[in-house]
Structure 1
């Protein structure tokens, strides 16, 4: 059904401000407790191993919640899921502040992890609610808030602890969450782009188990031992569960993560690059803070306190915000691919420079700032690339998956940095400390990760330009993006016999040739498409093994469900003849050039045969006369187009041995 509603939109600046505040809050929550971990050991009476759960609990919850919340946001409403996440974040902050015990603080930190889903959901809201020309710059600003929030979190947490105690950190988080909730309710409208459908509970459970096992192994590998039995068992559990989850997600009607869409080349390469960019970003934060805090007597440390080191990192966070307009302009002018490529290249150059220039505090801060600028540009480009290559009704879940992969990159970075810094050490005042070579080794690793991201991005295909006037315009009755709510049309793709066509792809274009949206049907042939409004559109449907179909469709304002029929299979057809006479009942067999059997059939009374068109490739087509058993074979090459191949046994048939 197509639902259309005109809504009063809030000013774009107000929506951007509230959503960017959400990104800042997320970054603050992730970093404010980090400088206090040593103090929590005495305050809560736990060991250094136990206190690390204050970070691990948030990491695990955010990893599990992000893809699940993203999918629920696409199904039931993005603002609704933002509200739910903020309420859970506030509840966690209150529990941690009032609990007074280690278990309560860990539980509160776990609930705070739901806030991580605010960023991908907020980015998808920007796509739905803002004018098209402002989306790129808005995403860039929101991505940059991760930097300023992370940079401010370290000194702010330490300062609040010294002035008012550790509980005030969680009370501040709760108060900020309440203000954020009020802002979302007042400014952010609920998007009309809702896919509906059924939630994949089993897929969510399997993915949650796999992610928990993987991130727990990565985060605890250093303290438990990478070769220890618990860590190895966690890695094995991850592989086993993923081996079940992948085929299940390909088979289920409406999976939590659409692997077919995620496997498309632009999405797959962007997500792979996101892991590497996340790795390089977090290495910058970890290395810079640690180097600034090492004793000055080492010759490469500067003896700063944790708070002072956090203050020294503020310029790198501010640089991300200052360069966000540049990132947005680059996305609008050159596209997401060029922007991500440029950002990754700047990160690589910054790390190479840090290998050779780290002999002064100014050099460390400048090097960290250069890497942060590249991170800001790269982080702004990734959501744009993802949303440009997935259906509109899947933007939140697709961004959630991308955010999850970035988190895996940051977690891996933390583990690698810990291993290298603890392995390559030098003695100072009787204490083993990370050596300068350890920092340089990680700089090189991060530079290689950035260059590997560049290599992946290079192979992302460029989008084809849209012609100004592709066909004579019969314009749909729509208004410019951001001025009215998008509407969602539902339908199904069927065969001529009314059977559903699973995983059929439906694409909608304006009658001027401008792309609108596309969707992959579920296992029952159902699809959802987001349209700018009612009107006439060009609809193209296709499925593996079927002749595609296209037509102009009038989508009315409401009460309409589109049924698309693909009536003709792609086939390999022809006649089996002898001396121009048809041979009824002849056997026709198709085998692959490598020897595998593909299909067989018999000719009808007119000597005609029909086989389902196999995948493009080289094959051997063989005919066997029914009465004499004379045979004839010929090589054929199939493409994605129907093929007609006649087999004439005249002069070529050989008697049966």
Structure 2
């Protein structure tokens, strides 16, 4: 089991410039990531206000959310890999400008069409999170990378649930446009900070971007994610759903041979099928599918259901069952970043998966006991929001070959969106089936929650299959390693 030797060494002459801490750069990266993240967390309670002020339908407002997360997946893959050829800082600045343009478009939107364009621009900038990790990897030591990665993960989770409450308050007072103006201030500050403090490290790859492979992957992700997001409203067996999902899968199948035998591929197929990559990507999808769908859909519906659940208000439910895990995650993620280099990032992923599975089994087993249910979900602040999310992102960066640094992290970032969409779609379908079958009380939600446990159990299996960076690649200087191009 690797420890600090998990960390690969980039073969550049400026290696001696790496340090344990760069506070100014870390603050800049945190502001840049936060500028994007606020568009994901603050807007949710303001969606009814968007629908009312733009005189649109719930379907189109829902589409804005779908497009936001869809282009987040596409942006992760595209900008992360492009940064290998153009450098991290230029791509980060591009991401920051996309956020700013999206904030302005949404804040000034006269109709839903302009609003949708703004959400697409904001979504594409999700790559800022992955680019922040890659920048930390380029500039910090193993110890410094772990600590900083945990902080960035904590920031990416929002303000411990307070941001959602603040978003609702802004919607109730000045309207949804105030949310984007607040985000604009943060994004402008983050852009200036990135420009001034983030070093311009040289590209890590030569050649040119594989736009053919990128297009196939983007079309594949688009089809699958739209199919999963809209399947409930379109009908799971409907023609539009089938076209999206099957068409997307066909593009992903065509994408696989496109990257075979070429160093310029979005991600080398040999790397993709190695145990360094596919178990990691599968773990990310299954972890998000199991936890995200339950936490964002099943748990709120159950706790607010007056017949089958606790009959709480939305605010009471969020404060008791969502905010504790998010608040603990603000502490748990940095602790996970410190722990990762010490015990090994792969072991951190295993601990996070095992802890989340145990917490969910306890929660579902005692779902009618309100305080036990709440306490079990709060544990996810350490296991899921802390260990799993931090370690999955960190391991993706540290497992990438030196000439494809942005490939695996970008694809792993896209897998977060795939897993979240899959988990939400599955939970929604199971709740609908249970209600239609005449299930009473907590039985309406038990199948969805047990399905989450099943997905997390599958994640536990794929986690164990992840192969760590070989120990025998260790270098003499500080125990760091150069990651070989491919290993099985």
The answer on whether the counterparts of 1:93 and 1:108 sit within 8 Å (CA) in structure 2 is yes
Residue of 297, 300, 311 corresponding to 1:286? 297
CA shift for structure 1 position 52? 0.6
Residue of 343, 364, 378 corresponding to 1:369? 378
- CA deviations over 1:50-107 (Å, ceiling 9, x no partner): 2211201102211211101011111111111111011011101101111221111111
The answer to whether 1:356 aligns with 2:365 is yes
CA shift for structure 1 position 445? 1.3
Unaligned runs of 5+ in 1: 467-506, 521-541, 543-657
The answer to whether 1:444 aligns with 2:447 is no
Task: For residue 484 of structure 2, give the secondary structure of its aligned residue in structure 1.
Answer: strand
Corresponding residue of 2:398? 388
Residue of 133, 139, 148 corresponding to 1:138? 148
Unaligned runs of 5+ in 2: 1-10
Give the alignment of 1:5-20 within 5 angstroms: 11-20=21-30
In 1, Cα distance between the equivalents of 2:403 and 2:257? 23
Structure 1 residues 462, 214: CA separation in 2 closer, same or farther (over 3 Å shift)?
closer
The answer to whether 1:261 aligns with 2:267 is no
4+ long deviations beyond 4 Å: 2-11, 432-435, 507-514
Residue of 83, 88, 91 corresponding to 1:78? 88
In 2, Cα distance between the equivalents of 1:236 and 1:3? 43
Report how many residues are paired. 473
- CA deviations over 1:414-472 (Å, ceiling 9, x no partner): 11121122222289xxxx99952232222211112112111112223355545xxxxxx
The answer on whether the counterparts of 1:24 and 1:149 sit within 8 Å (CA) in structure 2 is no
CA shift for structure 1 position 396? 2.3
- CA deviations over 1:285-326 (Å, ceiling 9, x no partner): 33333334333xx26223213x44444422211111212243
TM-score (normalised: structure 2): 0.89
Task: For residue 267 of structure 2, give the secondary structure of its aligned residue in structure 1.
Answer: coil
The answer to whether 1:69 aligns with 2:79 is yes
- CA deviations over 1:1-55 (Å, ceiling 9, x no partner): x974687979523333332333333332113222232333332222222221120
Residue of 50, 72, 87 corresponding to 1:40? 50
The answer to whether 1:198 aligns with 2:208 is yes
In 2, Cα distance between the equivalents of 1:394 and 1:151? 35
Give the alignment of 1:296-315 within 5 angstroms: 298=307, 300-305=309-314, 307-312=315-320, 313-315=322-324
Task: For residue 200 of structure 2, give the secondary structure of its aligned residue in structure 1.
Answer: coil
Task: For residue 170 of structure 1, give the secondary structure of its aligned residue in structure 2.
Answer: helix
In 2, Cα distance between the equivalents of 1:253 and 1:377? 33
In 2, Cα distance between the equivalents of 1:442 and 1:243? 30
Structure 1 residues 102, 433: CA separation in 2 closer, same or farther (over 3 Å shift)?
farther
The answer on whether the counterparts of 2:339 and 2:348 sit within 8 Å (CA) in structure 1 is yes
In 2, Cα distance between the equivalents of 1:513 and 1:154? 42
The answer on whether the counterparts of 1:274 and 1:409 sit within 8 Å (CA) in structure 2 is yes
Corresponding residue of 2:106? 96
Structure with greater contact order relative to length (CA < 8 Å, sep ≥ 6): 2
The answer to whether 1:516 aligns with 2:482 is yes
The answer on whether the counterparts of 1:293 and 1:302 sit within 8 Å (CA) in structure 2 is yes
Structure (1 or 2) with the larger CA radius of gyration:
1
The answer on whether the counterparts of 2:41 and 2:158 sit within 8 Å (CA) in structure 1 is no
Give the alignment of 1:221-620 within 5 angstroms: 221-282=231-292, 283-295=294-306, 298=307, 300-305=309-314, 307-312=315-320, 313-359=322-368, 361-375=370-384, 376-425=386-435, 435-466=441-472, 515-519=481-485
The answer on whether the counterparts of 2:21 and 2:144 sit within 8 Å (CA) in structure 1 is no
The answer on whether the counterparts of 2:257 and 2:269 sit within 8 Å (CA) in structure 1 is no
Using the TM superposition, name which of 138-147 and 69-78 deviates more: 138-147
In 2, Cα distance between the equivalents of 1:248 and 1:442? 37
Task: For residue 266 of structure 1, give the secondary structure of its aligned residue in structure 2.
Answer: coil
The answer on whether the counterparts of 1:421 and 1:435 sit within 8 Å (CA) in structure 2 is no
Corresponding residue of 1:160? 170
Structure 1 residues 235, 44: CA separation in 2 closer, same or farther (over 3 Å shift)?
same
Bigger fraction of residues in helix? 2
The answer to whether 1:31 aligns with 2:41 is yes
- CA deviations over 1:223-254 (Å, ceiling 9, x no partner): 00000011111122123222322212215451
Structure 1 residues 434, 257: CA separation in 2 closer, same or farther (over 3 Å shift)?
farther
Bigger fraction of residues in strand? 1
TM-score (normalised: structure 1): 0.67
In 2, Cα distance between the equivalents of 1:440 and 1:3? 53
